[in-house]
Amino acid sequence: MSPSDPTAANDDSRLDRLLTPEEQARFVGIASTLTFPDRGQPVYHEGQLADALYFIERGMVETSCQAEEGERQIVAFLHPGDLFGLFENQRYVNTARTLAPALLLRLPLDALHRLLAEDAQLQLHFLAKAAHDLRRSQRQLIVLGRQDVRRRVASFLLELVQHHDTYDPDTGIVALPMSRTDIADYLATTAESVVRALTLLEKEGLIQRLSPKAIRLLELKRLMRLAVF
Amino acid sequence: MSPSDPTAANDDSRLDRLLTPEEQARFVGIASTLTFPDRGQPVYHEGQLADALYFIERGMVETSCQAEEGERQIVAFLHPGDLFGLFENQRYVNTARTLAPALLLRLPLDALHRLLAEDAQLQLHFLAKAAHDLRRSQRQLIVLGRQDVRRRVASFLLELVQHHDTYDPDTGIVALPMSRTDIADYLATTAESVVRALTLLEKEGLIQRLSPKAIRLLELKRLMRLAVF
DNA sequence: CGGAGCATTGAATTGCATCAAGGCACGTGG
DNA sequence: CCACGTGCCTTGATGCAATTCAATGCTCCG
């Protein structure tokens, strides 16, 4: 899979795809299953005592940091196969919330720590996943820093294209499970500016808004030229 | 050490401080020493075949991503104890350059991989370091996304305060080894805007410019109120 | 009992006024 | 000489307010 082809679903990022069947068994062995039937349910809050990591089986999750007043920065939109639960000094550094009905695996830290300490091969996969997340965070850094809102929105759309659960290559339609405000909090702008950027991209013929939560991509190549790779 | 006290030098981020003497010995065993006598020397370039990670013994390094035209985003300023060399598909994703004369340890990937695969304890420290870098990247994300230039500069100054090599707690003076342009490329703004922000902070009585490369912090607490924690 | 039509509510969208940041040109100082 | 610093003008993004749209639940009727 070429990293520069955004239409290729990005399975490298899925931790479970990296694991051998035996590793998966040990991994699942320490996990408990959590079901979140609704959208918008909190998994944990910033500052809360961290006792587990979470793995997404189905659904989507956002992790965010809340500043004092209304200021919220969404750090990541997470898809099936992603791992989350970053902490510092035993406390979660983000707030995690479901964006859609979700099925999560809960991995208690003590059991996970024991597992990784006695299985260096499995741990290497966690290290690879961490490296992947670091690259993703750095890419987001560049998107926020170096691009106007129109390009940021283009980069965001192409990010969704990478995932099976938000893109149908046959129809060219991306699903946007999150609200305009969520997108704005992710791209460090406002809901209005996101809408204005979408309007612009539509006028340019690059996309077509089918509904607020479904957008058809008409010119993938021209979108890619706008985005960060 | 409290994480919210920016005057406390942040040794948690130093990989070598995490290691036991035996681990350090094995770590150094696979390494070769590299000396960069000058400022501005490249360690590796974006896209180059990745065959090693690097550990900073002395000096400072910046990692950056170059967009097509002049656009450059500095992803991180790295200090002694930091590790760098992030890659994807065998290729470095950043360009690394010395900011000051530097002494680096070069860790060949194949040897490092063998070492980590047979020493889960040592690998756990690498995982902890990766988590640390991920947090740092997320914090930078928030700085870029949610703050005006004045606050970004304040956050940047407080970041330098965390490190022994750029801050003297006795005099309250931070050293800025990098140019205004470098700072601008790190904070996703322009050299002029960085200067204007410094001018403003000085007029407000928060800082005092001693020279372009040395700034005395007069009101640490008020600076902290401007910055991201 | 099921379904069409209507009401309600929150989200999405648009226009307009304002402002902080960027770009350029020039001056300054180590 | 190169990097730093400053004034002036331009521009793109934001905030506010008004309007449209869409999804949901409800009622009423067949």
Residue B124 sits at the chain A interface (C-beta within 8 Å): yes
- Distance CA(B13)–CA(B82), nearest Å, equals 7
Tell me whether residues B142 and A67 touch, CB distance under 8 A.
Answer: yes
Length of chain A: 229
pLDDT at A139: 96
Chain B contact present for A77, CB below 8 A = no
Chain B environment of A188 (Cβ under 8 Å):
144-146
Q: Is B55 on the interface with A (CB under 8 A)?
A: no
**Percentage of residues of chain B with pLDDT beyond 70:** 93
Distance, in angstroms, between B113 CA and closest chain A CA?
Answer: 9
CA A60 to C1' D22, whole Å: 23
Residue B156 has pLDDT above 50, yes or no: yes
Do the chains contact at B117 and A124, CB–CB below 8 Å? Answer: yes
The band of B4, judged by pLDDT with boundaries at 50, 70 and 90, is very low
Q: Do A117 and B120 touch (CB under 8 A)?
A: yes
Alpha helices in B147-219 (DSSP H): 149-161, 180-187, 191-203
Residue of B nearest to A229 (CA): B67
Over range B11-21, report the average pLDDT.
83
Quick: pLDDT tens for B190-210. 999 999 999 999 999 999 999
Q: Do β-strands A95-98 and A207-211 pair in parallel, antiparallel, or remain unpaired?
A: unpaired
Q: What is the reported pLDDT for A146? A: 84
The token duo for B181 is 């342009």
Q: Which residue's structure tokens are 């090693």?
A: B52
Q: How far is the CA of B202 from the C1' of C27 (A)?
A: 21
Nearest by CB to A75, which of B65, B121, B138? B138
Half-sphere exposure of A51 (CA within 13 A, CB side): 3
> Is B98 in contact with B40 (CB distance < 8 Å)?
yes
Residue B2 has pLDDT above 60, yes or no: no
Nearest in space to A74 (alpha carbons), one of A184, A158, A166: A184
- Calculate mean pLDDT across residues A133-159: 96
Give residues lining strand C (CB < 7 Å).
A 179-181, 191-192, 195-196, 198-199, 209, 212-213; B 148-150, 188-190, 192-193, 211
**Per-residue pLDDT reduced to its tens digit, A45-73:** 999 999 999 999 999 999 999 877 668 99
**Helices (H), ranges, A42-190:** 109-118, 120-146, 149-161, 180-187
Question: Closest Cα partner for B40 from B99, B121, B103?
Answer: B99
Confidence category of residue B12, pLDDT binned at 50, 70, 90: low
The secondary element (H helix, E strand) that includes residue B79 is none
- Would the CB atoms of B116 and A117 count as touching at under 8 Å? no
* pLDDT on residue B229: 78
Alpha-carbon gap: A4 to the closest alpha carbon of chain B (Å): 11
User: Rounded CA gap, B153 and B226, in Å?
Assistant: 9
Q: In 3D, which of A82, A76, A107 has the Cα closest to residue A12?
A: A82
Please report the pLDDT score of residue B228 as a whole number.
86
Whole-number percent of chain A with pLDDT over 90: 86
CA A101 – CA A35 distance, rounded (Å) = 8
Q: What is the pLDDT of residues A117-144, one digit of tens each?
A: 999 999 999 999 999 999 999 999 999 9
Residue B3: its pLDDT value, please?
43
User: What percentage of chain A reaches a pLDDT higher than 70?
Assistant: 93
In tens, the pLDDT along B32-51 reads 999 999 999 999 999 999 99
Question: Nearest CB to A146: which of B73, B88, B133?
Answer: B73
Contacts of A65 in chain B (CB under 8 A): 138, 142
Pairwise CA distance, residues A54 & A43, whole Å? 9
pLDDT of residue B146: 84
Element (H, E) at B23: helix B21-29
- Which 3 state secondary structure label does DSSP give A73? strand
Contact (Cβ atoms closer than 8 angstroms) between residue B125 and residue B15: yes
Q: What is d(CA B179, CA B97) in angstroms, rounded to the nearest whole number?
A: 13
- Share the mean pLDDT of chain A: 93
pLDDT of amino acid B10: 61
Is pLDDT at B59 greater than 90 in this prediction?
yes
Strand order of the β-sheet with B61-66 is B42-44, B95-98, B61-66, B72-78
b/e map of A76-101 (b: 16 or more CB within 10 Å)?
bbbbbbbbbbbbeeeebbbbbbbbbe
User: Residues B99-144: pLDDT tens digits?
Assistant: 999 999 999 999 999 999 999 999 999 999 999 999 999 999 999 9
Q: What is the pLDDT of residues B72-91, one digit of tens each?
A: 999 999 999 999 999 999 99
**Which string of b and e fits A144-177 if b means at least 16 CB within 10 Å?**
bbbbebbbbbbbbbbbbbbbebbbeeeebebbbb
Mean pLDDT computed over A182-189: 97
Instruction: Give yes or no for A120 touching B (CB within 8 A).
Output: yes
* Token code pair at residue A222: 């021209």
| Contacting residues of B for A142, CB less than 8 Å apart | 65, 67, 73, 75
pLDDT surpasses 70 at A147: yes
> A39 CA to D30 C1', in Å?
37
Say whether residue A117 is in contact with chain B using an 8 A CB cutoff: yes
